[in-house]
C-alpha cells in the first residue's frame, strides 16, 4: 500500500488541460521530488494533494483513504509554502502553536510538540521574536517547524528554498535531508532546481507538459534518462546530444554522425528496442565521462576536436570543443584546463558503457 497515490488525475483550468490522466504512487517514507520546468504542472499536482484545488477527474489516495473530496484539514498533511506564510503579528512560538490549532490537542501535548520542534530546528532562542525580526533561513525553519508539530504522515513542500540565497539554500537543503532521515515522513517536494532534487530525493518524478516523463531514483534519472527531455533537463552542463545513423555490418553495431565520424555501439545494453540498420538516433554523452587522450579498447569513440572555450570555476573546468556546427562540453580537472588554449586540438575518448542512445523520432531511450 503506497503512502500517496494519484490515479488518472485530470486537471483543467477552463478549457485548458494542465494534467491529463496522471498516475503516480509514492511509497512510505519516500522523499519524492516533483521536478520540471516552469509551468509543467508541479504546483498544481501538489495543490490537488493538499486539497487547495479540486481535481477535474481521478482519485487521490493517502494510505487506504480516498481523500479526493476531503477538506485540506482532514487529509492528515502538513505543507510548507514558498512564501513561508507566517503570521507577522504572532511570535515564533505563536506561529508554531497556530500549526496545532486545528488539532485541538491538550495543552501539555501541544507544549511538548512545540518544545520538540524548537529544539530540533534550533529555534529555542528565538521563540519570542516576530517574523520581521528573523533572517530568511530562520523564517524558513519556523515554517518547517509549524508543519512538523502536526506529526503529519505526509509533508508537502512547495519550492521552500527559492527565496534564500545560495549559501543558505545549501544549508537548509542539508537540514531538510537530515530531518527526513531522522523522522522518516513521506515527503512530496516541488522544485525546478535539479541540485535540490538530486541531493534530497529518494525518488524523482520529472515532469514536462503536465505529464510525468520519468519516475525513478536520482541515479536512474541521471544515468538512464528515459527520453531526450529528461536527458537534456537533468545535468549541468547538459548531456551532449549528437545526431547519427545506425550501421549494422558484419554483426558489428555502430553509428555514423552527420560529419562521418564513427561511434562503436557494440555491447550497448538496450533497455527497450534494439537499434536497427539506418535508424536515425541521438547519441547522448555526459560531459564528465569523457577522458582526455586517445582510444582505449572500451571506447565508443575518440574525437580530435579544437577547443573553443575553456571555463574554470575553481573546483571544476568545462571545455567546449567544436563539433561540426555545434559544441561538445567536456568536464576536466582545472589543472589540466589551465594548460589549454582556444584553437588547440584535443583528443577525447568516450567509454561505450556510458553511452545513451535515443530514437531520433520518438525521443525515447533505446
The residues binding ligand ATP (CB under 6 A) are: 13, 18, 36, 38-44, 192
All cell numbers assigned to 162: 527559492
| Contact by Cβ (8 Å): 212, 24 | yes
Our CB check for ligand ATP shows the closer of 44 and 214 to be 44
Nearest distance in Å: CB 175, ligand ATP: 22
Our CB check for ligand ATP shows the closer of 18 and 80 to be 18
Our CB check for ligand ATP shows the closer of 150 and 169 to be 169
| Contact by Cβ (8 Å): 188, 62 | no
| Contact by Cβ (8 Å): 5, 26 | yes
Nearest distance in Å: CB 159, ligand ATP: 7
| Contact by Cβ (8 Å): 340, 267 | no
Our CB check for ligand ATP shows the closer of 22 and 244 to be 22
In angstroms, the CA 292 to CA 349 distance is 6
Nearest distance in Å: CB 2, ligand ATP: 22
Nearest distance in Å: CB 39, ligand ATP: 4
| Contact by Cβ (8 Å): 51, 70 | yes
| Contact by Cβ (8 Å): 190, 201 | no
Cis, peptide link before residue 237, omega less than 30° from 0: yes
Alpha carbons within 13 angstroms on the beta-carbon side of residue 365 total: 22
Nearest distance in Å: CB 190, ligand ATP: 6
| Contact by Cβ (8 Å): 351, 286 | no
Our CB check for ligand ATP shows the closer of 43 and 91 to be 43
Tell me, what DSSP letter sits at residue 285? E
Our CB check for ligand ATP shows the closer of 44 and 240 to be 44
DSSP strand pairing (186-191 vs 31-35): parallel
Nearest distance in Å: CB 8, ligand ATP: 18
Amino acid at each position: 500500500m503506497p503512502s500517496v497515490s494519484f490515479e488518472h488525475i485530470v486537471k483543467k483550468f477552463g478549457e485548458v488541460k494542465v494534467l491529463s490522466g496522471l498516475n503516480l504512487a509514492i511509497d512510505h517514507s519516500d522523499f519524492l521530488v516533483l521536478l520540471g520546468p516552469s509551468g509543467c504542472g508541479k504546483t498544481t499536482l501538489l495543490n490537488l494533494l493538499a486539497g487547495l484545488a479540486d481535481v477535474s477527474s481521478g482519485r487521490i489516495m493517502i494510505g487506504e483513504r480516498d481523500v479526493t473530496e476531503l477538506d485540506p484539514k482532514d487529509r492528515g498533511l502538513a505543507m510548507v509554502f514558498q512564501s513561508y506564510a507566517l503570521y507577522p503579528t504572532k511570535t515564533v512560538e505563536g506561529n508554531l502553536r497556530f500549526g496545532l490549532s486545528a488539532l485541538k490537542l491538550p495543552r501539555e501535548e501541544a507544549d511538548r510538540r512545540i518544545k520538540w520542534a524548537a529544539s530540533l530546528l534550533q529555534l529555542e532562542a528565538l521563540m519570542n521574536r516576530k517574523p520581521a525580526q528573523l533572517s530568511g533561513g530562520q523564517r524558513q525553519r519556523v515554517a518547517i517547524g509549524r508543519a512538523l508539530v502536526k506529526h503529519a504522515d505526509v509533508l508537502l513542500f512547495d519550492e521552500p528554498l527559492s527565496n534564500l540565497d545560495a549559501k543558505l539554500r545549501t544549508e537548509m537543503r542539508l537540514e531538510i535531508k537530515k530531518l527526513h532521515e531522522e523522522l522518516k515522513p513521506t515527503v512530496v517536494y516541488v522544485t525546478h532546481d535539479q541540485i535540490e532534487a538530486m541531493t534530497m530525493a529518494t525518488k524523482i518524478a520529472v515532469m514536462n507538459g503536465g505529464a510525468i516523463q520519468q519516475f525513478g531514483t536520482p541515479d536512474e534519472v541521471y544515468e538512464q534518462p528515459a527520453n531526450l527531455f529528461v536527458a537534456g533537463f537533468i545535468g549541468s552542463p547538459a548531456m551532449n546530444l549528437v545526431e547519427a545513423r545506425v550501421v549494422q555490418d558484419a554483426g558489428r553495431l555502430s553509428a555514423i554522425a552527420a560529419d562521418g565520424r564513427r561511434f562503436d555501439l557494440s555491447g550497448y545494453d538496450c533497455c527497450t528496442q534494439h537499434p536497427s540498420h539506418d535508424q536515425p538516433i541521438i547519441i547522448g554523452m555526459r560531459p564528465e565521462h569523457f577522458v582526455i587522450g586517445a582510444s582505449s579498447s572500451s571506447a565508443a569513440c575518440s574525437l580530435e576536436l579544437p577547443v573553443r572555450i575553456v571555463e574554470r570555476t575553481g573546483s571544476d573546468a568545462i571545455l567546449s570543443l567544436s563539433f561540426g556546427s555545434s559544441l561538445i562540453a567536456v568536464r576536466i580537472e582545472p589543472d589540466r584546463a589551465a594548460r589549454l588554449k582556444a584553437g588547440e586540438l584535443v583528443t577525447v575518448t568516450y567509454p561505450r558503457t556510458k553511452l545513451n542512445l535515443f530514437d531520433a523520432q520518438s525521443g525515447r531511450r533505446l
